[in-house]
Structures are given as C-alpha cells and as structure tokens.
Structure 1
Amino acid sequence: MNEPPEHCSKSPSESTESADDAGSDETTESLFLGGEGGENAYRTAMERTTDAVLDAFVENADPYSGASPEALREEFSEMEMIPETGEGLASALESAEPVLRNSVGVSNPRCLAHLHCPPMVSGLAAEAMLSATNQSMDSWDQSPAATLLEIRMVEELCDLFGYDDSGDGVFTSGGTQSNFMGLLLARERFATERFGTDVTQSGLPHRAKAMRILCSEEAHFTAEQAAAHLGLGENAVVTVESNDDREMCLDALDRTLAELDERELLPFALVGTAGTTDFGSIDPLDELAERAEEHNLWFHVDAAYGGALALSDRHRELLSGIERADSLAVDFHKLFYQPISCGAFLLRDGSQYEHIARNASYLNPKGASAPNLVAKSVQTTRRFNALKPFVSFRALGRDGFGALVDATIALADDVAELLAANSSFELVAEPTINAVVFRYRPHRMSDERLSWLNEAIRESLLREGDAVVARTEVDGVTALKFTLLNPRTTLADVADILDAIQRRGGSLSTVFPEVSR
C-alpha cells in the first residue's frame, strides 16, 4: 500500500501554522470548546466580554454616544473586516470596542424610544448557554433536551393565554414571523375549504385575487408584508378605521364586511391587535372573535407588545377574548425582557399545522417516533430561544413579571399626568399600556413648524446623548413618544427629559423661520 503524501500524514495540530506564522496566538486546540485549551480560551473570552459590556453599558452613563451615521461610517470604513492574517482573539475583542461604545444603551433609564427592552440578567445568562451549546431545533438528534423543553414551554404558554390541550405552538424570531405564520395558515385553510386547492402544491387559484385580510388602520405593517409574501399583494389588506381610543371600530368593521360582500370579495382573516406600536391600544378582542365566527374568518391576534399583560392580575382583563383567537403572536424581547430575538406563535388547534407540515428524510422522516419541531416552523435551522424565558420565569415567576409590567403601566399614567399639567406639552392620547405619545407645543403654530420643531428636539437629544426618544406621526403631524419598558426608569428620569425638551424647544423655536425661508 502506498504511503500517503507527507502533507496528509500530519495531524491537524501538526499541520496548523505556528502562532508566529499565523500572526496570532490561536491554535486549533484553543478555537473550539472541548479540549483544555478551548475551555481556557472560552473562560478568558467570556471574562473579557463581560468587562467590555459592563464598561460600555454600566460605567457609561449616557444612553447613546451621540455619534452620527457619517462618523460611524468613517470609523468602520477604516477597519479591516476580513484581514488576511488573524490577530488573535484578545485583539479581535478589543476591535469590537467601538461597536459597544456606539451602541444604544437599552438598559439606560433614558432610553425610551422603541419596543426595545432592557434584557434581564437571567436572559443574558441563558443566551450564553444556548449560544455555547448551539442546539439546532430542526431535529431531535440536534436538540434532544431543547426540543422537549420548548414543547413544555409552549404547553404552558398555551395555558397562560387560555388555550386548552389542543393548543400548540413554536418559538419564532418575533412578531413579524409569527404574524406571517398566522396568515399563512389562514390562507391555506381558506384555499382548501373554499377552492379545494392545496396552495403548497398547486399555487394560488385564480379567485385568490379576491381574498382579503382585515385589520385596524393602527395595525402593524407586517399584515401587509405577510400578504405580499403570501402572493396576495398588499392590496389584499383592508384597513378598518379606528375609534378615538385608537382601537378597531366595530361599526366600521361591520360596514367593511358588508361592503366586501357586496363587491363579491372574499375576506378570510381578521387580525386583532393587542398593543399597537404607537399607542399600545388593544382592539376589542371578544367582539372581533364574534365577528370572525359569524363570517368564518381566521382570527389572528398580534399580541407581540401586549401579550405580557397575561402575567398581570391587574391588567389581564385587557386581553379578554384572546383565548378565542385561532392563532396569536407574542414577543419575549419586549415586555418579557428577554434578549433579541425571542417570540412565539401559538395555535388554538394544533392540528392546523398539517397545512404546512413537511418531511425530510434527514430530519423528520415519516413514521419517526422522536419529536421534531421543524414541521411547525417556517425556519429550518432555529435557535433554542425557549431557554431564555424558561430561565427567567424560573428565576422570577409569574408574580415577579406581573409586578414589573404593572410598574411600567403605572409610570406611564404618571407621565401622562405630568404632560397634561404642563401647558408646553400636548398629550396626544391617554396611554393604554406604557407608550406615551405627546408633542412639545408651547403655543399655537402651524403643523409644518410643529413637526419640524419636535423632530429637531428629538435629533438634538440623540446627538447630545441625553436621551433616546421615538418619533411618530399622528394625523400627519410629528409627535414624540416615550416607550416606558424599562422598570428602572423613574418619574424623575422622565421629568428631566421633559425639562431638556423644553430647553431645546425654546432655543430651536427661533431657528425655524430662517430654515423655512
């Protein structure tokens, strides 16, 4: 037998370049967990990472550095992303410092812009565990314990939202994916029942052009996005006007359903929102469930924001009727305080998964006895995100979570009172959950000037690193928004930000006439 070529006879460790040749202190042994070198490298890397994060987000008191897009673009343009020769892990971690330094401090009490939560330490610890174990949720033999834990978490989530034993679900990347899955199953069921068409196999029938999805005009844009992805087009979404509380108007819904019937269009899904992005408004879910049953519509509830109210004894009744939804979306990276990304899609009747189930011989062959979750998801490779809420629920319990949610809602009410008592501010709407929408309006001015002024104030706060505040539009005019997710934010913190808004507003008010001319 011929001897193998000399270069093939060496072991991986022997064939690896030396540290001097490679330009770093890394070896194969230290690159991966498993050996002594890898364990030491992991401990050192995690310690350095912890120090770097604490330096950036705890010792630094500002919610943002104030760096402009241009400044960051210039800084990163000078940084080699894929160097020819590695520089070692220690140096590589140091090179990430500008990223940390110029990231938004989501745990800072003055970071109040978006549905972008401060992550719990328990979730961060679980994130490290699931990243290190790197389980892939598409087959049992890639995630044995993880698969069973996710199944149990889904069972308890179904119970939390009032589903019985026939409920089922799967973890998702968040509300966008969950909303898409709800409308995907709604489309599949309708096409099967109405047209006798298996869309998965045959594509959309011609009459699918008449299919319609109904949602509030305040609903998240993912209803239209899902319609586009499902081949129905964004025009398939019919928005129903909202009432003064920014909830779907039932009379308008009834009129819309009657008009669709007269035009021989085919509504097949009704989307209710439990927590609109701007106002936190919650549609009348019980009444929507009744309309859905009457018109044979799939009833999906987008509870990505407001789903956490299920943990609150004081506010849970706001979700009354959610247990009647055919499907629902809930996010854990909002009011459940888990690291991004982490969401769930729940089904009242788990047998509906048959519409999207598929088998692959290398993952979940037909007849296999081991539980596999790939047929419940639109993802194949999928992270073990269920570990994060599992660890956090075990650490804090329902009561602990409920108390956090209650505290943020109480703060929003107090902030609304503070705004209403100050003649320089206009409270756009009373908060439902913990989003407060308002404008700085010290006196009468045109809508154009009012929009410019509030946007300029927001930009100034961000540029100076004083606060991260959101902007939105209400009735065509720019408004500011506090999204009070952070339980560490106090009324004093918000009062300081309002003082800063008034100071900036006073100085900026004189600039607008020059800009306009």
Structure 2
Amino acid sequence: MSASSIDAFVATTDPRSMAHLRTLVDDVLGLLAEAGSGRTGPVPTGGPAAARAYADDVLAEPLLPTAGGKPDDALRQLVEAYATWAVDVSHPATVARMQCPPATVAVAADLVVTALNQSMHAWEAGPFAVELERRLIADLAGLVGYGPDAGGTVTAGGSISNIMAMLIARDEAYARRFGRSAFHTGVAASGVRPVVLCTETVHFSVDRGASIAGIGSDGIIRVPADELGRMLPAEADRVLRELPADLLPVMLFVCAGSTDFGWVDPLPAIAEVARRHGVWLHADAAYGGGALFSDRLRPLFDGIAEADSVTLDLHKFGWVPASAGLFLTRDAAALDHLAAQQTSLNAADDVAEGFIGRYGSSIQATRRCDALKIAVTLRGSGRQGIGAMVEACHELSRFGAARVAREPRLELAAEPVLSTVLFRYLPERETDLDEFNSTLRRRLMRNGQAMLARVILPRPGGGKAVWLKLMLLNPATEPGQLDQVIDDVLAAGALLEAAAAS
C-alpha cells in the first residue's frame, strides 16, 4: 500500500481526511434514507429465508479477499446491504426488543467516539474521555440517590453490569469472612460454598454471572415470590436464617423493573433484610431505571439507593444507541477488588501524580468512550426531558392495554407498570394457545408487518404459557399507530383461524 493510499485509509484530523470522511458520511446517510424508503413495515418481507438469500447474494464474494478492492466501494456495498435488512427501530411496529430509536445527537456523538478512537483504560489513551466518564458516573449515581462516595463505570450492557456486581459482591463477602478476597484465593480455598439469592424471574445474566464467579447455577437459591413475581422479604429473611454454615451468601439480587411486566421488588424491606444479614444487595434496573428520570414513576423505585449496587441501561429507556450500560455502586471503594492486580495501567507512581485511567473501575481494559453519547443525550434533554419521554411510553402502554382489554379475541396478562403490554390471541375454536400465538407472531414478522416479542410465563395452575409482548420505547409513536399494530395482530389471528377451519 502506497503512502498516499495509507493517508486516504487512516482517519485523521487533517482537512483532507475530514473532507473524505464527510463525503463518506453523506454517502452513508443517503444509503440509509434509500433503504427505508420502499418499506411498508419495520423489516422487508420474507422472514429468515429471504434475509439469508439476500445475504448469500450480496456476500457471495469473500469478506476477507486476498487482495482488497476500493475501501469506499466496500463501505457503500456493505452499508446498503446492512441497512436494507436492518430492523427500523423507529417504526411504530417495532415493539419486540429493548431497542429504542436513538437520539440524533447521540448518533452524531458516536461518530466522534469512533473517529477519535479514545480508550478508557489509561489516562494517556483518552484524557478528556476519562474525566467525562468520571463526572457522568457521579451524576447518574446522584440520580439513583447515592452520595459523593459512589463510583461505577460505563459497561457494554446490563449483563456485564450484573456480572460485575456478582464478582464484587463475592469478593466483598470473602474479604469480610476470611480477610482476603476470592480474587486471590478463589472460591474453593475457603471450604464454604458461595450462593446468590434471587427469584425465578430475574435476568438470565444471573446464571451466567454465577458461572463466571465460580458460584455455578447450582449456587443460585430461588427465593419465593408473590403472585406478581416479586420477592417476598420475609422469605428472603427465612432463607438466609436457615442457610447451612457451609454456604456463604454473597448477594441478594433484586429486580427493579422486570423486563416482562416491569414489576419492582419491595426494595426497602429487602434492603433491611440484606443489612440484617450483612449480604450485598444488587438492584437490576437495566430496563426500569429509565423511570428514575420521571417524577411520576420514580416512586415505584423508592429504596433503590439502599442497594449496594445498581445496573442501568440507557440504550433501553434512555434513547442512547447501544451499548450504554452502567454499573453503579454506593461506595467506590468496592471497585478496588477489580484493581487488585497492579499493572502498567495503574502503576503507583502514575496514580500518585494523577495519571489515572479507568482500568480499575471495569472488568475490561481497552474500552471505547460510550460516555460521550450518553452525556450529550442527557445534557441536551435534561432529567425532565428524558422523564417526559419515559412517561409518554408509559401512557402509550396504558392505551395499548386498554385497547387489548376491549377486544374479545385478545386477553391482557396484567396492567402495564412501565411500558410493556403482555397479551395473547384467543381463537374462537379450542386450540393449542401456545402454538397459535407463536405462529401468529412469526407470521407478522415474516410478512414484515410487525416485530413482536414472545415470553413464556408461569400458568396459575402450573406449567408455562406463551404470551405476546409489546415493548414500547418510542415516545414518538402515536396511539393510532399502536392501534394499527393491534389491528394487524387481530387480522393475522383471523387468517390463521380461517386457515385452521378450512
């Protein structure tokens, strides 16, 4: 590759490089506009078979050829393909997953993060990025209700935040019990087995975290819950009191906004149980934490500041592009467990002189500055602006639930707490409801009409049942547009019924 080719390949702040980047960005924006112009729904029609056939066509040539072509042409070809079969997260019928339409300023900020390619692990890898994240963490810790001693880090998402919480809670428990962290000794050296307490309905990252932390899924103790799936504080207290001496409770894991119903465990009462038994309390508010911006919904989360740590995901209920997860802890000193290994990244003499990166606050080393897109979104909209959008989504879910409740062919699972609507179609003739609703959902997605989620929930009399879920995270969606989504569900259900009867 010639020197001139290298100059064109590498992004710099040189005016020629910036002009080249501007041309590419204009081209990309044009391709994005074209990709969405011919659609009638959130995704092209045809389902997985059509997506795979399209990929087979446009990716027929190897992605790693022996000799490359023109980088600009490769960009245009792959971006056009990527955008053609990307789900339009701003479409009113995109209601399946926790993918919010991102704020425009956050998208622009993400371009800056990529172009400047700073890293958070060392001061010399991103001086302003390091300071920005530190201040962002302080502000969001304040939103939770933590004081000036709080700490935390931006993460790749709620799963990573929950795993971090479990690792820190494990090390705290071992340090208190044995005077030395499990970071050094491992979990087997003590002769006791660590356990985590939670309900059946917590996020699957608990099982993954237990495996990574050396606790194992067999070390997860399920605490009984009420009929809504919320942890019963008296039962948590009983389980802790009755634990055998060879089991070491390292964490009480509670849900602050479940991904299906939005329910919040009784935080103040559980916090009292955790304090009584000296167990780390972690609150998973990955989805529900957006409600902390809302004066109207925030009371649902009273007591969250009593948790030792909290997970937030602003790429869910915060309109920041993924990833924008956060791990927050009431006492920043707990993060010392992650910094226990001295390396060139946190050498004592550099630290003494103020050259401090963010290596010691994360389980990652190299890490992009996702704090920038979060910061511009929050500063641009403020707490009240974000809160108003959260409330708009909440109101939309109430509208959707009311519409579902009026339809004789639909059954509502429960009234919305945050921004989800769970329901199912009830065919006129007796049939397997689980199979019917699963088929209905796939039909809507295959036809490109709507992207719906499916959840499997316990039946009152035992067993499990399939329900459909509307995850409403677009504050721009109008009630009439949500009506259309429900109309499409009813029409698809009627067609399935007719086909079954013929």
TM-score by length of 2: 0.93
Correspondence for 1:164: 147
Output the CA distance in 2 between the equivalents of 1:365 and 1:359: 10
Output the CA distance in 1 between the equivalents of 2:326 and 2:402: 35
Correspondence for 1:31: 9
Partner of 2:130: helix, strand, or coil?
Answer: helix
Correspondence for 1:469: 452
Correspondence for 1:481: 469
Alignment of 1:11-410 (within 5 A): 13=2, 27-34=5-12, 35-57=14-36, 60-77=39-56, 78-96=60-78, 97-207=80-190, 210-261=193-244, 265-358=247-340, 360-368=342-350, 369-410=354-395
| Cα contact 2:48–2:446 (8 A) shared by 1 | no
1:270-318 CA-to-partner distances (Å, cap 9, x unmatched) read: 0111111111111111111111001111000111001111110111111
Output the CA distance in 2 between the equivalents of 1:58 and 1:512: 35
Correspondence for 1:7: none
C-alpha displacement of 1:328 = 0.7
Partner of 1:469: helix, strand, or coil?
Answer: strand
| Cα contact 1:285–1:319 (8 A) shared by 2 | yes
C-alpha displacement of 1:254 = 3.5
| Cα contact 2:253–2:281 (8 A) shared by 1 | yes
| Cα contact 1:209–1:232 (8 A) shared by 2 | no
1:193-227 CA-to-partner distances (Å, cap 9, x unmatched) read: 11334322222235565321111211101111100
Output the CA distance in 1 between the equivalents of 2:257 and 2:106: 23
Output the CA distance in 1 between the equivalents of 2:148 and 2:201: 33
The reply to whether residue 459 of structure 1 matches residue 438 of structure 2 is no
Structure 2: 5+ residue stretches without partners: 459-463
C-alpha displacement of 1:367 = 2.8
Output the CA distance in 2 between the equivalents of 1:490 and 1:234: 43
Output the CA distance in 2 between the equivalents of 1:98 and 1:382: 28
Q: Of the two, which has the highest radius of gyration?
A: 1
1:304-335 CA-to-partner distances (Å, cap 9, x unmatched) read: 00111111011111111111110111011000
Output the CA distance in 2 between the equivalents of 1:417 and 1:68: 30
Structure 1: 5+ residue stretches without partners: 1-11, 17-26
The reply to whether residue 422 of structure 1 matches residue 404 of structure 2 is no
Aligned alpha-carbon RMSD (Å) = 1.9
Partner of 1:47: helix, strand, or coil?
Answer: helix
C-alpha displacement of 1:264 = 5.3
| Cα contact 1:171–1:342 (8 A) shared by 2 | yes
Output the CA distance in 2 between the equivalents of 1:423 and 1:513: 19
Partner of 1:390: helix, strand, or coil?
Answer: helix
1:89-128 CA-to-partner distances (Å, cap 9, x unmatched) read: 3321232112211111111111001111111101101101
| Cα contact 1:301–1:329 (8 A) shared by 2 | yes
Partner of 1:66: helix, strand, or coil?
Answer: coil
Distance change >3 Å, CA 141–CA 341, structure 1 → 2: same
| Cα contact 2:191–2:246 (8 A) shared by 1 | no
C-alpha displacement of 1:157 = 0.9
Output the CA distance in 1 between the equivalents of 2:478 and 2:65: 46
Distance change >3 Å, CA 166–CA 284, structure 1 → 2: same
C-alpha displacement of 1:359 = 5.2
Q: Percent identity?
A: 34
